[in-house]
Amino acid sequence: MKQFRRVLTYLRDFKINIVLIFVFNLCYAVFSVFSLSMVAPFLSVLFGNGTLVTERPELSLNANDILNTFYYYMGIIIHDYGQFYALVFIAITMIVSTLFSNLFRYLGLYANAPIRAGISKGLRRDVYHRLLILPLSFYNRQKKGDILNRIGSDVQEVEWSVVCSLQMFFRDPILVIAFLITLFSISYKLTLLTLIILPPAGILIAKIGKSIKKNSTEAQQILGRMTSAFDEAISGLRIIQGHTATDYADRRFRKMNDRFFVLNRRIFRKTEIGAPLVEFLCILALVIVLLLGGNFVVSDAAMTGEKLILFIVIFARIIPPAQSIVSSYYTIQKGMASADRIFRVIDEDEVIEEAKEPVGKKTFDDKIEYSHVHFSYREDGNEEVLSDISFTLEKGKTVALVGASGSGKSTIVDLLPRFYDVKEGQILIDGIDIRKLKISDLRSIFGIVNQDITLFNDTVYHNIAFGKEGVTREMVEEAAKTALAHDFIMEMTEGYDTVIGDRGMMLSGGQRQRLSIARAVLQNPQVLILDEATSALDTESEYIVQQSLQRLMEGRTTIVVAHRLSTIRRADEILFVQGGRIIERGNHDELIALGGEYAKFCALQEG
């Protein structure tokens, strides 16, 4: 129940709604009992065998007092107007009380609506916020589809679970209690005899609920993998069809889908058994009522035929809320399996933690220094990716990182904005360890242009201005001109207001990269990081992008990760990285003269 209590903390902003739900459902229960209590006076008047009450009793919630009050008024009406008008009066009273009963029922649901919407809003807000601040290492371990499933399907499960719990807490138990109080007031002996069957039913229901929660957890995990399969199929459709792997992908999905079917079948069957079980037990109890109640009518003067029928009618009305309580319990168990998955994301360690008293620094004034940096993607520090990396980048200079794929170049630059943290050593900016700086200030210093371009299904304007406040159209156009993107943008159907499709798929690779560069220009970073910015482009596109990059690099401190010589020849210092270590350093001419690994690398490029 720990997760359930935690989910309920999201109700803090809805205290007034909770009070209203309780009050409205209490009124609903009172009017329900009141309308049902009219059955006995109606039958008494109809068959003319009721006992006339000559003195008006004190009105209370006791069923006998309610009945005697109506017998008193019925006596007056029958005496003055006759039996028919007494029946009309009772019928009108039942209609009015039923109207109020259903009105308060609706008001309870009306007050519950903001809570239902608010729970999902709060959970999605917290999960999304957490996803934005978690380190990249978290996403290396998780499937994207599973994460999407947690913020989608799992949140809906929890939302529905809380709705059911509120009904269980503030409507159904109130109804059951109100009906039970009425039954006890009619005949406590008969009521006690019918309640004997409840304990074994409760034990059986609890066992079924525990099994449902276990199956639901596995089902949600599989649903996450299926969501990933959908995403991979859509994004990798060319590969799947090009490698004639349609049957292979289909078999993989069918296997997951079949397992999901088996689990859901179990869950549905176990969920649906609860309500029929309760109904059977209630009918069993009802039969006991008929047998024992009939005997009480014959042998006990206090139990009349009208009271027995009223007892049976009210007992029958207990069945729906009792079934609802059981169904709600199962739904809560299913929802808590989803809540556990959601809170695992919310509780995930940030790893990249802000210093307790961070240093505010939004400017880069002197130099960046890597000092004996070691890094591993594993928490235990084994399998080092970087070993003893040391170099200095002075303001206004350009450093290029060169080497084969997998040598650690991109990892070196990922450490600078603290996408990951070093395991040993330090990275200093103007002599301050970056772990002591405020993270938002640190990252505002850098502008990053990657090989993997991230564009959004939005307009050109909003893609360039992404994340910037107070940006004017003129500023966006100027940035696009600097990135040599303005001309092709103006050739598009709606210019800067053109929607570029999912991930910018309506654009060529070179056009996407120039939009990415325009975004960096608009950010006006103090330090520029170019991570394989031209590696995926053809020769013509590379030439245009290189021109825009040169404009962007003018007067800026730059770290370049590249394979191609055209990007790195002009660098002030070139670091050749191999196996996570810097094995050569110098400018282009010095390293060529050295005749080492860099010279071989250049020979391969030129050859």
* Residue 367, strand partner residues: 394
* Residue 426, strand partner residues: 371
Residue 363 has pLDDT above 70, yes or no: yes
Residue 565's nearest CA partner among 546, 551, 578 is: 546
pLDDT tens-digit series, residues 3-48: 777 887 888 888 898 889 889 988 888 888 777 777 766 666 655 5
Residue 398's nearest CA partner among 562, 587, 573, 582 is: 573
Q: What is the mean pLDDT of residues 512-533?
A: 81
Q: What is the mean pLDDT of residues 457-468?
A: 83
| 519: three-class secondary structure by DSSP | helix
Residue 320's nearest CA partner among 208, 169, 173 is: 173
Residue pair 419/135 in contact by the 8 Å Cβ criterion: yes
- The alpha helices in 50-154, defined as continuous H runs, are 63-80, 83-133, 136-141, 144-149
Q: Which pair of tokens denotes residue 47? A: 């068959």
Q: Please tell me the distance from the alpha carbon of residue 102 to that of residue 39, in angstroms, as a whole number.
A: 18
User: How crowded is residue 281: how many other Cβ atoms within 10 Å of its Cβ?
Assistant: 18
Taking the mean position of all CA atoms in its chain, how far away is CA 175? 33
Q: Please tell me the distance from the alpha carbon of residue 132 to that of residue 539, in angstroms, as a whole number.
A: 36
Complete domains list, the chain, with CATH: 2-346 (1.20.1560.10), 459-524 (no CATH)
Q: Please tell me the distance from the alpha carbon of residue 387 to that of residue 426, in angstroms, as a whole number.
A: 12
- The string of DSSP letters for 563-605 reads SSHHHHTT-SEEEEEETTEEEEEE-HHHHHHHTSHHHHHHHHH
Q: Please tell me the distance from the alpha carbon of residue 157 to that of residue 334, in angstroms, as a whole number.
A: 7
Confidence band (pLDDT; 50, 70, 90) for 94? confident
Residue 73 has pLDDT above 80, yes or no: no
Q: Please tell me the distance from the alpha carbon of residue 106 to that of residue 216, in angstroms, as a whole number.
A: 31
pLDDT tens-digit series, residues 527-559: 888 887 665 555 666 667 677 777 777 778 888
pTM reported for the whole predicted model: 0.63
Question: Residue 433 has what pLDDT?
Answer: 92
Distances (CA, A) of 469 to 62, 264, 375, 442, 475: 66, 47, 35, 18, 12
| 536: three-class secondary structure by DSSP | coil
Residue pair 412/419 in contact by the 8 Å Cβ criterion: no
Give every CB contact of residue 601 below 8 A, 6+ residues apart in sequence: 402, 403, 576
Residue 370 has pLDDT above 90, yes or no: yes
pLDDT tens-digit series, residues 287-321: 777 777 767 666 665 666 677 777 777 777 777 77
Q: Which pair of tokens denotes residue 317? A: 């009305």
Instruction: For the chain, give the percent of residues with pLDDT over 90.
Output: 6
pLDDT tens-digit series, residues 199-241: 566 566 666 666 666 677 777 777 777 777 766 676 666 666 6
Confidence band (pLDDT; 50, 70, 90) for 369? very high
Q: Please tell me the distance from the alpha carbon of residue 295 to that of residue 292, in angstroms, as a whole number.
A: 5
Residue 431 has pLDDT above 80, yes or no: yes
| 206: three-class secondary structure by DSSP | helix
Q: What is the mean pLDDT of residues 406-411?
A: 85
> Looking at 160-237, which runs of residues are DSSP E strands?
none
Q: What is the mean pLDDT of residues 331-345?
A: 79
Q: Please tell me the distance from the alpha carbon of residue 37 to that of residue 45, in angstroms, as a whole number.
A: 14
Tokens 């990182």 identify what position? Answer: 401
Give every CB contact of residue 479 below 8 A, 6+ residues apart in sequence: 464, 518, 519, 521, 522
Expressed in angstroms, the distance from the first to the final Cα of the chain is: 68
